[in-house]
Structure 1
Amino acid sequence: MPFYLFRGRYNTDALRALVDEPQDREKVAGEMIAAMGGKLHHLFFCFGDEDVVALIEAPSDEVMAACALVVGASGTMAGGATTKLMTSQEAMGAMSAAKAGRGAYRPVGG
């Protein structure tokens, strides 16, 4: 199954709710992702531009998009992004395909 990196920022109300009543968001997120056929490998709270990052395995881009839509539609996030990840083996396959297709490309100005 493909892997994805989800990054998110909670809105002020959600942060206030987490401070007022600490909650295990990893458990809740993991249950939702599992219900959609995926697996939450890790959820980390962090400093910086994002409040949380999660490593998720999902059966398809559509399932991952659905998971992100569920979270986004909840109204608790101020923003977020999902990045599709590739294993080293998948990247090497892409490199081999690029090598094979390089001859069909004409660079700018070329």
Structure 2
Amino acid sequence: MPKYLVKASYNPAGAQGLLAEGGSARRDALTASVESVGGTVETFLYAFGGDDLYIVMDVPDNVSAAALGLTIGAAGAITWNTTVMLTPEEIDEAVGRSVSYRAPGA
């Protein structure tokens, strides 16, 4: 199953919700959302700095990942950024592919 890294940041309303519910409750709510599209949460960690939350999740496909991002982002409590992650074996496969490319101005 494809793996995705999510970096999320709470806005003031989202931070108020986190203060009211606590971190464990928000983790459980997010886990339920990921499971609703057939996925699993591998890592769920809070941080301080540029981003408030880091999630590593496995979901069936890009459409499922997009559905999560759209639904959660539309709720308006957090900014949700998804990065597709690749295994070393997938990079090995990519390195082995022949690609036709011309650099700008070449």
TM-score (structure 1 length as normaliser): 0.85
Q: Distance in 2 between matches of 1:11 and 1:73?
A: 13
**Aligned twin of 2:81:** 81
Deviation at 1:19, TM superposition (A): 2.1
**Aligned twin of 1:93:** 93
Give the percent of matched residue pairs that are identical in Structure 1 and Structure 2: 28
**Aligned twin of 1:106:** 102
Structure 2 unmatched ranges of 5 or more: none
Equivalences, count:
105
Runs of 4+ in 1 over 4 A off after TM superposition: none
Deviation at 1:69, TM superposition (A): 1.4
* 1:10-25 matches, cutoff 5 A: 10-24=10-24, 25=26
**Aligned twin of 1:40:** 41
TM-score (structure 2 length as normaliser): 0.88
Change (3 A) 1:95 1:14: same
State the superposition RMSD in angstroms. Answer: 1.5
Highest CA radius of gyration, 1 or 2? 1
Deviations 1:44-90 (A, max 9, x none): 1012111101001111100001111121122211x231100000000
Structure 1 unmatched ranges of 5 or more: none
Q: Distance in 1 between matches of 2:105 and 2:13?
A: 52
Deviation at 1:109, TM superposition (A): 4.0
**Aligned twin of 1:53:** 54
